[in-house]
Structure 1
Amino acid sequence: MQTTQSIFDRYEEVADRLPKVIDQPKTADISSLLDITDDIDAFVFDAFGVLNVGETMIPGADRRLDQLRERGCSIRILTNAASYDRAGAIDKFKRLGLSVADDEIITSREAALLHLADGHWGVAAATSDTLTDLPPSADRLEDCAKIYTAVDQFLFLSTAEWTEKRQDLLVAAMRQRPRPLLIGNADLAAPRDNGFSIEPGHYGHLIADEFPDHVRFFGKPFPEVYDLIETSLAGVPPQRIAMCGDTLHTDILGAAARGWRTVLVTQDGLFAGYDTDAFSERSNLFADWRLGRI
């Protein structure tokens, strides 16, 4: 069972694989994002733990987005969820009750798919994922060892139906013939209604422990998703963009490495029920601002 402490500890163990940030400021507490709209032109939101927990919208999240727009701020949602294509991501936020324009959503899956090379891909994906945005040469990684052996490279999008048996098949295939492995969601875990789910980054880092030169991660804190956000916010200086997230090693680290401002949201995500000061001190990761809910 994953806990806040075990997830944090694992991020610390793999910190050498993450972007580097130096000379971060200490954190100032605020009561609302409306407190900092004079300093920020664009707010970028993590989803899990900030806008929603599992399939439940966090109370007030929809109203806060509307208020920020009314003040002239641009809104983006930057999610590491890679289990569904862009249309699926848009549908999910609409089901949650969030009023979000299609061009306000950026996913780690989009970043990963931009870096697919030619060849035969083996894909870890949910059964509900139609894979229509992938090359026709992609085969699902399920329980057939021959698929793992045959493919030229691997793409990991979802843990929805991933099992220890499938992980063992992937490890065995990598040991037999090391190949590129793209992790479409760099998160180790995500907050759900009944605890934390295990995400693709968890399994990716286990492979990277043995094959560090063959694994590439996409999503926060890695740079490709920030490229997509900045392209969509042409003309907005990095220091006028604020990333709002619940995780120090993904949301806060990645944005700070990019030169963005950062907001740590504490009430519903990874650090729910914890004082974050000790975690920031240990990791040397400090958001510019901190609040319970946006």
Structure 2
Amino acid sequence: MRDLREIKYFLLDMDGTFYLGDELIDGSMDFLDILKMQDKDFLFLTNNSSKNRMAYVEKLKRLGCELEPDKVFTSGEATTIYLKNMKPKAKILLLGTPLLEEEFIDAGFELVKGRGESPDYVVLGFDTTITYEKLWIACDYIREGIPYIATHPDYNCPLEGGKFMPDAGAMIDFIAASTGRRPHVIGKPNADIINVICDKYGYNKEDIAMVGDRLYTDIKTGINADIATVVVLSGETSRIQYEESDIDADFVYPSLKELGEDLKRLK
């Protein structure tokens, strides 16, 4: 049984955990204050690679939460670090937004666009600027055997009003149908994203807890990486859904508010 008092760093999912749409969830800011008072720390962690950290910093600021850019970590950044460890300055065919392209260029990679350019990797992100030509070129390279990476596997990106837009996972299935190949995925629920975070921030796994509202991404990430897990029932997962699931978290709370209250009580 894990001890909540021993957790030093909380990896926080955002939508459904810290805010819902454009509103902070009650108790979220108080939770950050409690961590500060107890000399604990946090990092916001998102699978969405269509935006860079600054886009999230600006959104959080609009919601009343001002923080340094280094407090936000995306699957896009995780992928750049993973690939830099594999082959710095690699040539990459990237299916991604201009913001993700900028992140890869800043990380020292050379982006190629067309056929006949011999990329070292094909990387699929959440590309809201996707075109048929982009997909076709990517499929040609993947079919040739070029190493293939995806930032994350989410099928849908939630929107306000209970709506969704197709995410990277839908594109993974499109490419698989054409090429017969699936990518190595970096983001949640895979352990790679936690390993990269530990390398960047100097965390030890026994000091970390993954906190989120999705069982199959957030909580599964913690299980796969062998770190503590906290499911909050303020977003996608209800109490009934949790009890019927075969995915078990170490701790279950209605929201960050109750998690914070427990941290104060246990101190």
Aligned mates of 1:101, 1:75 — CA distance in 2:
12
One-letter identity of the residue aligned with 2:41: S
1:291 match: 253
Instruction: Output the TM-score relative to the length of structure 2.
Output: 0.76
1:222 match: 190
One-letter identity of the residue aligned with 1:41: K
1:265 match: 232
2:102 is the alignment partner of 1:125: no
Instruction: Tell me by how many angstroms 1:240 deviates.
Output: 3.4
Sequence identity percentage: 21
- Deviation per CA, 1:61-95: give whole Å up to 9, x if none: 22222222222221111221212334334333333
Does the CA-based 8 Å contact 1:49-1:191 persist in structure 2? no
Aligned mates of 1:95, 1:121 — CA distance in 2:
34
C-alpha spacing 1:180/1:102, structure 2 compared with 1 (3 Å): same
2:248 is the alignment partner of 1:248: no
2:264 match: none
The structure whose RCO (Cα within 8 Å, separation 6+) is larger is 1
Aligned mates of 2:174, 2:221 — CA distance in 1:
21
2:61 match: 94
Aligned pair partner of 2:241 in 262, 269, 275: 275
Does the CA-based 8 Å contact 2:211-2:232 persist in structure 1? yes
C-alpha spacing 1:241/1:129, structure 2 compared with 1 (3 Å): closer
Higher-helix-fraction structure? 2
C-alpha spacing 1:273/1:248, structure 2 compared with 1 (3 Å): closer
1:110 match: 77
2:37 is the alignment partner of 1:70: yes
Does the CA-based 8 Å contact 2:78-2:197 persist in structure 1? no
Matches within 5 A, 1:16-35: none
2:110 match: 137
2:176 is the alignment partner of 1:203: no
- Deviation per CA, 1:114-169: give whole Å up to 9, x if none: 205455432222246562542563146xxxxxx25655242222232335x35752
Does the CA-based 8 Å contact 1:106-1:225 persist in structure 2? no
2:28 match: 61
1:29 match: none
Local SS of the residue matching 2:30? helix
Does the CA-based 8 Å contact 1:159-1:198 persist in structure 2? no
Does the CA-based 8 Å contact 2:97-2:126 persist in structure 1? yes
Aligned mates of 2:173, 2:61 — CA distance in 1:
32
One-letter identity of the residue aligned with 1:180: P
2:205 match: 238
C-alpha spacing 1:92/1:170, structure 2 compared with 1 (3 Å): farther
Aligned mates of 1:242, 1:128 — CA distance in 2:
29
CA RMSD of aligned residues (A): 3.2
C-alpha spacing 1:112/1:201, structure 2 compared with 1 (3 Å): same
Aligned mates of 2:198, 2:166 — CA distance in 1:
29
- Deviation per CA, 1:222-265: give whole Å up to 9, x if none: 2232123323554x653332110122222112212222111112
- Deviation per CA, 1:90-111: give whole Å up to 9, x if none: 3333333323333322221112
Unpaired stretches in structure 2, ≥5 consecutive residues:
257-267
C-alpha spacing 1:189/1:162, structure 2 compared with 1 (3 Å): same
